Amino acid sequence: MYQYDNYDQTLVNERAAQFRNQTERFLKGELSEAQFLPLRLMNGLYVQKHAPMLRIAIPYGLLASRQLRMLAHIARTYDKGYGHFTTRQNIQFNWPKLEDVPNVLAELATVQMHAIQTSGNCIRNVTSDHLAGVSQDELEDPRPYCEIIRQWSTLHPEFSFLPRKFKIAINGAAKDRAATQLHDIGLQLVKNERDEVGFEVLVGGGLGRTPIIGVTIRPFLEKKHLLSYLEAILRVYNRYGRRDNKFKARIKILVKELGKEKFTEMVEAEWAAIKDNLLLDLEEIERIRKFFQPPPYETLTDDPPLLEKTAHDSRFAAWFRHNTVPHKVPGYRVVFLSLKTPGKPPGDLTESQMDSVADLADRYSFGEIRVTHTQNLVLADVKQADLLELWQEIQALGLATPNIGTATDIICCPGLDFCSLANATSIPIANGIQHIFDNLDYLYDLGDIRINISGCMNGCGHHTVGHIGILGVDKKGEEWYQITLGGSSGKDASLGERLGPSVSKEQICLAVEAIFQTYRDQRLEDEAFLETVRRIGMRPFQERVYGDN
């Protein structure tokens, strides 16, 4: 993974020192709330329901074991002993004291971490495929480009006060595991007719209260023009994006109002003026690429005895089938650690679990951990011969729930329990749905179902692209929930369609169970849930959920 040089280290050290000074002045009354607001937001610090919330950047979801141990230390020392991994591949702490945050940032800097630009109207953490560099369907590893964009965008003077927050995702595989069509800018590595690798550039995607699927404005962009084209897009957005209404300020609104053709024309004109002055040196790409070289894999073959082990233990077999995926190197496998244990808040990890996972990463996966946008963790490079032993260890940690990609692997925002923006709780709803499945055979029979839950329209839980989306709404002080069906964040990205009137908190889990039953009744052989919804439409689900009402 990328290692800071002196410039990087100096930047995060000085930024932490600056924030210490700013916080001290605020606490002394020398800065007002209004003056302190932009300073704390640019360091990822929100004012939340119960306490400040600190969001820490995990660039493209990549963590070293020493960094995860530092996060465990922060959870233990400055918070309530746990952290929450988010759909932006970041981590949030919900209970730090304001006066402690400068110490937190200073300690993070010692392991090359920070909270810069995890909030505010700037370019946020660049996200990517959690299987980057190890998947079998990858055209090229996207992580070097993520790092190049991170360096280019960090404290970029022209883009520090955009109309709204700005999110970029990069994917290098055939399967889109980075939700590129749902970002302000999505970059997909592709080949052109001359067999050259470059980027398909998508713009104007996003979730929240106005969800929109992004559109392609350049089918192929040469690598050397990556930064100049991004700069051209951001310049057009910075100049013409609305600043009078925060709900209409995202680039997706600008693209929609101008139209794809007019927006593309404006970007191309801006790009023509700057493209030759901001070339991405191919030597620089190679320099950054060297930080992402494969680890020292052993020369192995796939492990036939492993099949015998799975056959002899049904629990291990279920975990192997659902929580591991093939690796591009023979003899290795990718392992998911499920943060969706029934009864626990989705995405949460305790400080002792963090320390243990860091130890496991050192022993089994070259000291590296990845965070997925579905709020799980990944050990990407596990020898097949070690899988049984690793499974036994993560079972003891409560991280071996065999449910990745199933209906209990729920994406969920913190909701009303923590967030001051939320209208309804989301964690109890996720827990309620998980408890429907006291029989794993029933869970596995339903197959691939993505359930996403958000406690408000801001959509941190990506409800609009869940196969089943659940949105918390407030009705005269009571919590109700809207249901959507048919969303997807993959290659076939789509927005869910609203099922009907919202249902009460007491009825929401029953409604979800009715949706499951309808799917079982209506599906064709081997037909996945999303395919069934797209084939039969809303009506059969509405009839089962709402009856004669």
Average pLDDT over residues 141-152: 96
User: What is the rounded distance in angstroms from the CA atom of residue 120 to the CA atom of residue 42?
Assistant: 6
As given in the structure block, the two tokens for residue 355 are: 């320390």
Banded pLDDT at 293 (limits 50, 70, 90): very high
User: What is the rounded distance in angstroms from the CA atom of residue 523 to the CA atom of residue 91?
Assistant: 38
Give the pLDDT of residue 311: 80
Average pLDDT over residues 66-85: 97
What contacts 531, CB < 8 A, 6 or more positions away? Answer: none
Q: Quick one: how far is CA 482 from the chain centroid? A: 23
pLDDT of 237 above 90: yes
Locus of tokens 């909701």:
415
Banded pLDDT at 438 (limits 50, 70, 90): confident
- Segment 190-209, tens digit of pLDDT: 999 999 999 999 999 999 88
User: What is the rounded distance in angstroms from the CA atom of residue 498 to the CA atom of residue 56?
Assistant: 34
- Segment 450-487, tens digit of pLDDT: 999 999 888 888 999 999 999 999 998 899 999 999 99
- 11 to 110, 227, 512, 529: CA distances (angstroms): 12, 21, 48, 48
Q: What global pTM score does this model have?
A: 0.94
Question: CB 545: neighbour CB atoms within 10 A?
Answer: 24
Average pLDDT over residues 410-414: 91
Average pLDDT over residues 115-139: 95
Banded pLDDT at 549 (limits 50, 70, 90): low
Banded pLDDT at 272 (limits 50, 70, 90): very high
Give the pLDDT of residue 48: 67
Phi, psi dihedrals of residue 538, rounded to the nearest 5°: -80, -30
45-47 and 82-85 strand pairing: unpaired
Domains defined along the chain, listed by start: 6-110 (3.90.480.20), 134-290 (3.30.413.10), 304-397 (3.90.480.20), 411-547 (3.30.413.10)
Banded pLDDT at 312 (limits 50, 70, 90): confident
User: What is the rounded distance in angstroms from the CA atom of residue 167 to the CA atom of residue 87?
Assistant: 12
Q: What is the percentage of the chain residues whose pLDDT exceeds 90? A: 88
Tell me the average pLDDT of the chain.
Answer: 94
SS3 state of residue 109: helix
Phi, psi dihedrals of residue 279, rounded to the nearest 5°: -80, 140
Average pLDDT over residues 312-320: 93
- Segment 494-508, tens digit of pLDDT: 999 999 999 999 999
Q: Would you state the torsion angle of the CA atoms of residues 160, 164, 168, 169, taken in this order, to the nearest 10 degrees?
A: 150
Higher pLDDT, 305 or 369: 369
Give the pLDDT of residue 190: 98
Average pLDDT over residues 303-326: 89
Give the pLDDT of residue 175: 95
User: What is the rounded distance in angstroms from the CA atom of residue 373 to the CA atom of residue 177?
Assistant: 8
Give the pLDDT of residue 421: 80
Banded pLDDT at 145 (limits 50, 70, 90): very high
From 242, 235, 232, select the one nearest 159 (Cα to Cα). Answer: 235
- 532 to 17, 467, 486, 542: CA distances (angstroms): 55, 11, 9, 14
User: What is the rounded distance in angstroms from the CA atom of residue 129 to the CA atom of residue 288?
Assistant: 18
Locus of tokens 């964690």:
427
Give the pLDDT of residue 285: 95
SS3 state of residue 182: helix
